[in-house]
Every structure is written in structure tokens, then in C-alpha cells.
Amino acid sequence: MMMLDEPYRWAEAVANRRDYIEDQLGSGSPVVGLNYRDGALLLTLGRGQQKIFEVYDRIAMGAVGHPTDIEKLRQAAIDLAHVIGFNYSEADVTLQQIVHFGLGPAMKTAFDEIVRSPYIARVLLVELEDPGKAIVLYTVDYDGGFLRTDKQGALGGIPEADRVMQRYLAEADTGRLGLRDALDLALRAWAAGRWAGQLEEMPNEASDLDRAADEADVTGVLRDALGSLEVEAAVLQRSRTRKNKFRTLASREIAPVISAYRGSKPAGD
């Protein structure tokens, strides 16, 4: 194939591929993950399409991207977790193995092989470790690149949204928060990422983006979003007595937090 014989054509094709995927992901609804007093919280907003899933007893996943690709990645993560658990033991199933030996290589291969369709998705995974330890989070990008963080993690459709949300979360000692306060912080971080993703013109410098984010009307963005989008949230709950720590939050747990934003009005009204 000519593309394989001429490296510059391959490089050009990869660049075009990257531009296409980023254009597809640009308007995606962010996903926020953070630790709180009783475990880990994952949150996003959407139009009824599920984006937060259980992977294993202590591992959960959220994603931005094409629903079909998200489902393929979800199933791949689940399959690998169960293979490891069956061949070795449940204790051997870790998020590091799933990312390093499963999702990361699979997404990189799909991206690099020009004759294949890439995954139009970005993934955020969280693991609840043993009591007394911090949670572990990984973000996995569409090209297979991954990053580990502790305590908080967030991803949007564009890297600038990631930066804004991570900066917003870093200011809080989330491990001390109860569930309601953690939900409130996650919602506001989501709104900060949403704001960044909707910018018509992105600042050239990171410092300029930070200053603009500090002045952004995060409450207004969230209030507007709640008019058309639904909150989806789940926890990995340490105090849950059963082996499975994953639990989807009921609307009655979310309603008291979002009611304050639905009732808020812009200044001057």
C-alpha cells in the first residue's frame, strides 16, 4: 500500500485522523470522578444515554464519545477483568492491569492502524482500593495514551476542558466531603468543563484560559444545562457490606443538590 511505503503519507493520515476524532469529541459532555468520605463518585450529564458503568466489584468507568465505541470499550474492560479474576483471583484484578494491558493497547492499535476505524471515545476509570488508601483514577485517550491520578480526575471532549476541571477539583479536600457536598462539587466541576468545551475561541496560553475560567459563570452554565440534561451519577461505596461496591445514585439523592441550581436566577433578574 502506498501509505505504508511513504511515511509522510502515514503521518498526514494520522494527523487527519486526530483532527477528525477531536472534532467529533469536542461537544461531548464531561465526566468527573473524585474521592469523597465513603469512597469514589463518578458524575456526568446527558440525554438519557448511559455513560457510567460498573466494570468489576471495585472498578467503575465513565466515558465521552460515540455510544457504540463506549460500549465496545466497556465490554473489553469487563472481559479482561473477568479473565484475570478467573485465571488468578479477584484480588489480582486491578485498574492498572485493565488500562496497561487492555484498553490502552487496544485503543492505540485502533488509532495507529489507518485501515481500521479508531475508537471515538475518551475513558475515565476509577478503582476503590483497600480501606485507608486513596482511590486510583486513569484517563485513557482515543490514541491509547493514559494518565494516572489520585483523588480526582476529569475528562471532557477537549484537553482544555480537562485542565479547567482538574484545576477546579484540585482546590478542594474532597476526601472530607459527604456525598451531597461531593455531588455539588462534581456538578460545578462538570459545568466548568462544559464552559471550556463551548468556547468559540480558545485562549492561546494556559494562563489566559485559567483567568477566563476564574471569571466564568459556572452556576449559569449548570443552570442552563439542567434545563435539558439529566444527571447520571454512581459511587463505589466503601461502607457497602456486599462485595460489589458499585451503586447508581437514585434521583432522590441527586434532587436536593440540583434543586438549588434549577431555582437560581441570573444576577439582575
Dump pLDDT digits (tens) for 149-164.
988 999 999 999 999 9
* Residue % of the chain over a pLDDT of 70: 94
Under the banding of pLDDT at 50, 70 and 90, the label for residue 7 is low
- Where b means 16+ CB within 10 Å and e means fewer, 10-47 reads beeeeeebeeebeebbeebbbbbbbbbebbbbbbbbee
Lowest mean pLDDT among 12-21, 35-44, 158-167, 177-186: 12-21
Stated pTM of the model: 0.91
Model confidence at 56: pLDDT above 60: yes
The average pLDDT across 78-92 equals 91
Q: What is the pLDDT of residue 108?
A: 96
Q: What is the pLDDT of residue 182?
A: 97
Under the banding of pLDDT at 50, 70 and 90, the label for residue 265 is low
Model confidence at 200: pLDDT above 50: yes
When computed from its CA atoms, the radius of gyration of the chain, rounded to whole angstroms, is 19
The CA–CA distances, whole Å, from 107 to 122, 143, 185 equal 10, 6, 31
The average pLDDT across 42-63 equals 95
| pLDDT tens per residue, range 13-30 | 888 999 999 999 998 999
The average pLDDT across 133-157 equals 93
The residue ranges of every structural domain in the chain are 23-262
Under the banding of pLDDT at 50, 70 and 90, the label for residue 8 is low
Determine the Cα–Cα distance for residues 148 and 99; give it in Å rounded to an integer.
10
**Which CATH architecture does the domain made up of 23-262 adopt?**
4-Layer Sandwich (3.60)
The average pLDDT across 51-80 equals 96
> Closest Cα to residue 182, out of 236, 103, 223, 119?
236
Q: What is the pLDDT of residue 268?
A: 43
